[in-house]
Amino acid sequence: METIKIIIAGPRGRMGLEAVKLVHNTENFELAAVLDRRNNGMNLSGLAGFEGMEAPIYTDLDECFSSVKADVLIDLTTPEFGMAHAEKALEYGIRPVVGTTGFTNEDLLRLESLTEEKGLGCIIAPNFAIGAILMMKFAQMAGKYFKDIEIIEMHHDQKLDAPSGTAVKTAQLISEVREDKTQGHPSEKETIPGARGADMNGMRIHSVRLPGLVAHQQVMFGMEGQLLTIRHDSFNRASFMSGVRLAVEEVMKIDVLVYGLENVIE
């Protein structure tokens, strides 16, 4: 098995720390470097919590990508920087695996054309957890039969983007099989703005933010006399790591942009 050399952006974050551990503990993965907002020139192993995990720390993108020979960039930062990181990685011939959420459709289109131009794989995965991918697939199946749908995503209160990338992706997948429909009473009025949530093709998305939560979503399907609820819960960030591993292995085999791991799992 060939070794895959990996750069991780955002190593000190909640997801980044798990990803560093994953790479460190995976036989054919090698942590080539990390991109951080501080500690330029230091070694990761010198930071508390990363003992024994050797990797040079860079704060400058160009310096990192030009000095380090790497195959894959795993980005787990913020929407503000994730896009720039992915674009720059492709320019240096490095394949991005992006877990960062909050990208716009225009961002995805830009990355798609850059991926095509460079002939390199790129994976954007709004959710790496296998259960969440199945939840989205099941929701798409149900969306064929139920037209009235409310998505309730629930996350920790440090999350920057709303709605979550998973909720957006779920609504997109359902929209592929459901005719657009405005839900609720035609004359309904919000007496407090936002009460009915975000509107995506008539479906409603509600974002809950509370300390103590990790990542949870339930999709509710209503029809005369019945309710179907499809729910997934991630109780920790380790739940995402088998998907990160799969994405890294997969991105090495492709030369296009893949948006969503549902396109990768059988």
Ligand X SMILES: NC(=O)C1=CN([C@@H]2O[C@H](COP(=O)(O)OP(=O)(O)OC[C@H]3O[C@@H](n4cnc5c(N)ncnc54)[C@H](O)[C@@H]3O)[C@@H](O)[C@H]2O)C=CC1
Cα–Cα distances in angstroms (integers) from residue 123 to residues 30, 130, 169, 206, 235, in the given order: 19, 15, 14, 26, 24
Q: Which of 155, 169, 206, 216 is catalytic?
A: 155
The helix/strand/coil state of 25 is helix
The helix/strand/coil state of 26 is coil
Binders of ligand X in range 21-40 (CB under 6 A): 35-37
Measured from the CB atom, the residue of 33 and 129 that comes closer to ligand LZUJQKHR is 129
Least distance CB 134 / ligand LZUJQKHR (angstroms): 14
CB 98 within 8 A of CB 165: no
Active site annotation includes 185: no
Binders of ligand LZUJQKHR in range 77-116 (CB under 6 A): 101
Q: Report whether 196 belongs to an annotated binding site.
A: no
| 171: contact with ligand X by CB under 6 A | no
Measured from the CB atom, the residue of 43 and 183 that comes closer to ligand X is 43
Active site annotation includes 5: no
Q: Report whether 12 belongs to an annotated binding site.
A: yes
CB 44 within 8 A of CB 11: yes
Q: Residue by residue, what is the 3-state secondary structure of 225-249?
A: CEEEEEEEEECCHHHHHHHHHHHHH
The annotation places the binding site for NADP(+) at: 38
Residues that bind ligand X (CB under 6 A): 9-10, 12-16, 35-37, 76-78, 81, 99-102, 125-128, 161, 240
Active site residues: 155, 159
